[in-house]
């Protein structure tokens, strides 16, 4: 990942300036944008208005569904970074993977058709086929590896800039239930008339408390007393909300289930360490300690 | 038959004590080597950072309290009581010193900063105070050769020593059935850990006195 960052940083900086120029000069569709004067060594950029984050649902539509456990929708961000005559550079950020893609764009009927390939050295790499039509980017993805449970995923994305905002919170209208990690509990019921005892196996899910949308773990410097009465799931969600605000893409399904549907969540990176504020770093360390303690001690004889 | 049952019960209780003694030993090993963030201290960093005496007091409690439980193996055994007076006396001194000088005072000061707020603090501080008092009275009664009072106070004292075990058993049971929030649980076990023990101790004393 480090390498990719090195390559991209100068490119992004250059183009973000140009993006502004371009939008000033004209609402261009025309590829020949002569008003932009660039260094001659850099290839001419096309359609910079398409640049940026395209964000939305990434849904598995074709799969070996028996092998595929848990949720089938996650949040995808396709970052279009550079379009030139020689090709397109973009990044796919989804399910904890941030992958650089290269490919081509063709134009037809005012639509832009892209075919983009991920590098292929990751198990989950594949090909994106999509079309930008007005304000919607839609298409399909297929993995190179035909042995993967997922065969085809579909996505409908809209443009959404990523801005870090410490104030955003999980929506309070929702219930936060951990559907990924469940426990099975045996329960017996005795039929009074026949005397037959039936045993049921109930699946028990953990639900988070209201603290997960009341406590702002990015702004409030948390003290031990603030988190002492929280269960492990609350602690985990509070800690991961910090990362979500920074656009971290989560590998773990158990974490993704809480953020993939959140409106403000835009996955942009698989490493946000450098962006964390001092308060956030301290809160993460504190929450980590409490999570570890809860894991080792909550339901055991120890203390 | 009655005698036989009693013997079996005694053996079972001793095995249970040995089992939990072993578990307590395991918990103690989590504090080797010395660390400012070991196990329970992970959620006590406020005290570790602000109270200079907290770590020494905490570690004294952790490292010495195991010895209090040892008394359960020897001190209530009729044979040792009657025939091995030196064993009883040596083990007795070990218990008294552990409790009066180390475990109870450190427990008292830790209790002042217990998790769970004023309710848990009151429970733990009362526990430590009563434990020290019963042990002290048991000691002075023995010195005065008032052995019945000595026995009664030691039954009370050891019942409270066992709260180290019963408190943790209650915790496992309550979490299994109710999964309460950690500090709600803590408040409950800070009382439930020793009050029933003391009631049982009073019952045992009452029964023996009636006999």
DSSP letter string over B187-203?
A: HHHHHHTTHHHHHHHHH
Q: Are residues A80 and A136 in the same domain?
A: yes
Domain boundary among A159, A186, A217: A159
Q: Comparing C-alpha atoms, which of B51, B163, B166, B59 is closest to residue B112?
A: B51
Residue of A nearest to B179 (CA): A299
Looking up residue A152, the CATH number of its domain turns out to be: 2.40.128.120
Cβ–Cβ below 8 Å for B27 and A303:
yes
Residue A68 has pLDDT above 70, yes or no: yes
Question: Does residue A81 lie in a domain region?
Answer: yes
Domain count, chain A: 2
Q: Are residues A188 and A268 in the same domain?
A: yes
Q: Is A211 on the interface with B (CB under 8 A)?
A: no
Q: Is B175 on the interface with A (CB under 8 A)?
A: yes
SS (H, E, C) chain A: CHHHHHHHHHHHHHHHHHHHHHHHHCCCCCCCCCCCCCCCCCCCECCHHHCEEEEEEEEEEEECCCCCCCCCEEEEEEEEEEEECCEEEEEEEECCEEEEEEEEEEEECCEEEEEEECCCCCCCCEEEEEEEECCEEEEEEEECCCCCCEEEEEEEEEECCCCCCCCCCCCCCCCCEEEEEEEEEEEEEECCCCCCEEEEEEEEEEECCCHHHHCCCCCCCCCHHHHCCCCHHHHHHHHHHHHHHCCECCCCHHHHHHHCCCCCCCCCECCCHHHCCHHHHHHHHHHHHHHHHHHHHCCCCCC
Rounded CA separation A184/A200 (Å): 10
Question: Does residue A210 lie in a domain region?
Answer: yes
According to the model, what pLDDT value does residue A41 have?
53
Rounded CA separation A195/B68 (Å): 49
Q: Are residues A181 and A41 in the same domain?
A: no
Residue A30 has pLDDT above 50, yes or no: no
**What integer is the mean pLDDT of B148-156?**
97
Q: Are residues A184 and A148 in the same domain?
A: no
According to the model, what pLDDT value does residue B47 have?
96
- ipTM of the complex model: 0.90
Rounded CA separation A179/A174 (Å): 14
How far does the CA of residue A197 sit from the closest CA of chain B (Å)? 21
Cβ–Cβ below 8 Å for B168 and A209:
no
A298 φ/ψ angles, rounded to the nearest 5 degrees: -55, -50
According to the model, what pLDDT value does residue A185 have?
81
Q: Are residues A9 and A153 in the same domain?
A: yes
> Which one of B43, B65, B178 makes the best mutation probe of the A interface by having the most chain A beta carbons within 10 Å?
B43
Give me the residue from B40, B45, B172 closest to A299, CB to CB.
Answer: B172
Q: Is A228 on the interface with B (CB under 8 A)?
A: yes
Question: Does residue A67 lie in a domain region?
Answer: yes
At A25, the pLDDT band (50, 70, 90 cuts) reads very low
At A35, the pLDDT band (50, 70, 90 cuts) reads very low
pLDDT digits 0-9 by tens, B28-52: 999 999 999 999 999 999 999 999 9
- In this structure, what token pair is assigned to residue A123? 């198990």
Q: Are residues A90 and A214 in the same domain?
A: no
**What integer is the mean pLDDT of B17-22?**
96
According to the model, what pLDDT value does residue A127 have?
97
**What integer is the mean pLDDT of A139-143?**
97
Number of A/B CB contacts below 8 angstroms equals: 59
Give me the residue from B30, B171, B183 closest to A229, CB to CB.
Answer: B183
Q: Comparing C-alpha atoms, which of B110, B134, B149 is closest to residue B198?
A: B134
Yes or no: say if A164 and A245 are a contact pair by the CB < 8 Å rule. yes
Question: Does residue A238 lie in a domain region?
Answer: yes
Q: Are residues A127 and A190 in the same domain?
A: no
Cβ–Cβ below 8 Å for B30 and A231:
no
Q: Are residues A58 and A6 in the same domain?
A: yes
Residues 6 or more apart whose CB falls under 8 angstroms from that of A286 comprise A222, A224, A227, B45
Residue A21 has pLDDT above 80, yes or no: no
Give me the residue from A292, A293, A303 closest to B168, CB to CB.
Answer: A303
Cβ–Cβ below 8 Å for B43 and A224:
yes
Residue of B nearest to A227 (CA): B43
Residues 6 or more apart whose CB falls under 8 angstroms from that of A161 comprise A52, A53, A266
Yes or no: say if A155 and A141 are a contact pair by the CB < 8 Å rule. yes
Question: Does residue A302 lie in a domain region?
Answer: no
Question: Does residue A129 lie in a domain region?
Answer: yes
- Domain-wise residue ranges, chain B: 14-210
Range of the domain at A33: 2-159
> Which one of B25, B182, B187 makes the best mutation probe of the A interface by having the most chain A beta carbons within 10 Å?
B182
Rounded CA separation A239/A166 (Å): 13
DSSP-derived 3-state class of residue B24: helix
How far does the CA of residue A10 sit from the closest CA of chain B (Å)? 43
Q: Is B50 on the interface with A (CB under 8 A)?
A: no
How far does the CA of residue B183 sit from the closest CA of chain A (Å)? 5
According to the model, what pLDDT value does residue A17 have?
40
Residue of B nearest to A223 (CA): B46
Q: Are residues A30 and A139 in the same domain?
A: yes
Residues 6 or more apart whose CB falls under 8 angstroms from that of B101 comprise none
Torsion, Cα of B157, B162, B168, B170 (10° steps): -80
Residues 6 or more apart whose CB falls under 8 angstroms from that of B112 comprise B121, B125
Chain B positions touching A226 (Cβ under 8 A) are none
Q: Is B19 on the interface with A (CB under 8 A)?
A: no
Question: Does residue A72 lie in a domain region?
Answer: yes
Domain boundary among A125, A159, A193: A159
Q: Is B38 on the interface with A (CB under 8 A)?
A: no
Residue of B nearest to A288 (CA): B42
- Looking up tokens 């001690």 gives A297
Chain A positions touching B37 (Cβ under 8 A) are 289
**pLDDT, averaged across chain A:** 86
Strands A136-143 and A150-159: antiparallel
- B79 or B95, higher pLDDT: B95
How far does the CA of residue B175 sit from the closest CA of chain A (Å)? 6
Q: Are residues A102 and A135 in the same domain?
A: yes
Q: Is B101 on the interface with A (CB under 8 A)?
A: no
Q: Are residues A7 and A59 in the same domain?
A: yes
At A219, the pLDDT band (50, 70, 90 cuts) reads very high
- Looking up tokens 């960052």 gives A5
Cβ–Cβ below 8 Å for A302 and B26:
yes
pLDDT digits 0-9 by tens, A240-261: 999 999 999 999 989 999 999 9
Q: Are residues A115 and A40 in the same domain?
A: yes
Chain B positions touching A300 (Cβ under 8 A) are 172
Give me the residue from B26, B40, B182 closest to A229, CB to CB.
Answer: B182
Question: Does residue A171 lie in a domain region?
Answer: no
């Amino acid at each position: 990942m480090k390498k990719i960052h090195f390559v991209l940083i100068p490119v992004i900086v250059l183009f973000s300036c140009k993006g502004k120029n371009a939008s000033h000069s004209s609402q261009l569709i025309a590829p020949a944008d002569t008003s932009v004067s660039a260094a001659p060594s850099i290839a001419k950029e096309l359609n910079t208005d398409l640049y940026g984050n395209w964000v939305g649902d990434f849904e598995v539509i074709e799969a070996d569904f028996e092998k595929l456990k848990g949720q089938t929708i996650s949040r995808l961000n396709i970052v279009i970074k550079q379009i030139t005559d020689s090709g397109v550079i973009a990044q796919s950020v989804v399910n904890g993977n941030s992958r650089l893609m290269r490919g081509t764009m063709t134009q037809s009927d005012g639509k832009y058709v892209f075919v983009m390939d991920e590098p292929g050295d990751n198990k989950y790499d594949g090909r994106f086929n999509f079309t930008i039509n007005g304000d919607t980017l839609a298409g399909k993805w297929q993995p190179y590896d035909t042995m993967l449970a997922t065969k085809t995923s579909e996505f409908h994305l809209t443009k959404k800039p990523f801005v870090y905002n410490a104030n955003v919170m999980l929506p309070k209208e929702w219930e936060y239930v951990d559907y990924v990690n469940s426990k099975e509990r045996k329960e017996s019921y005795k039929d009074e008339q026949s005397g037959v005892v039936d045993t049921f196996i109930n699946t028990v899910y953990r639900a988070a408390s209201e603290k997960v949308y009341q406590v702002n773990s990015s702004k409030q410097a948390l003290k031990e007393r603030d988190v002492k009465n929280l269960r492990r799931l609350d602690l985990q969600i509070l800690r991961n909300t910090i990362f979500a605000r920074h656009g971290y893409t989560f590998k773990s399904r158990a974490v993704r289930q809480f953020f993939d549907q959140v409106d403000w969540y835009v996955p942009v990176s698989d490493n946000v360490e450098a962006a964390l504020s001092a308060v956030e770093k301290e809160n993460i360390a504190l929450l980590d300690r409490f999570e570890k303690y809860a894991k080792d001690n909550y339901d055991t004889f120890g203390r | 038959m009655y005698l036989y049952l009693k013997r079996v019960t005694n053996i079972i209780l001793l095995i249970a004590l040995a089992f939990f003694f072993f578990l307590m030993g395991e918990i103690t090993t989590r504090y080797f080597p010395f660390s400012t963030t070991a196990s329970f201290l992970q959620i006590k960093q406020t005290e570790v950072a602000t109270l200079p005496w907290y770590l020494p007091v905490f570690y004294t409690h952790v490292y010495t309290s195991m010895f209090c439980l040892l008394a359960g193996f020897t001190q209530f055994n009729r044979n040792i009581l009657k025939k091995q007076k030196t064993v009883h006396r040596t083990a007795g001194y070990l218990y008294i010193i552990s409790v009066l000088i180390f475990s109870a005072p450190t427990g008292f000061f830790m209790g002042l900063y217990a998790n769970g707020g004023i309710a848990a603090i009151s429970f733990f501080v009362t526990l430590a105070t009563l434990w020290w008092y019963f042990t002290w009275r048991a000691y002075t009664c023995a010195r005065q050769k008032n052995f019945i009072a000595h026995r009664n106070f030691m039954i009370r004292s050891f019942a409270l020593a066992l709260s180290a075990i019963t408190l943790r058993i209650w915790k496992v049971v309550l979490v299994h059935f109710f999964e309460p929030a950690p500090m709600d649980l803590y408040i409950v076990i800070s009382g439930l850990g020793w009050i029933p023990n003391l009631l049982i101790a009073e019952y045992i004393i009452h029964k023996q006195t009636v006999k």
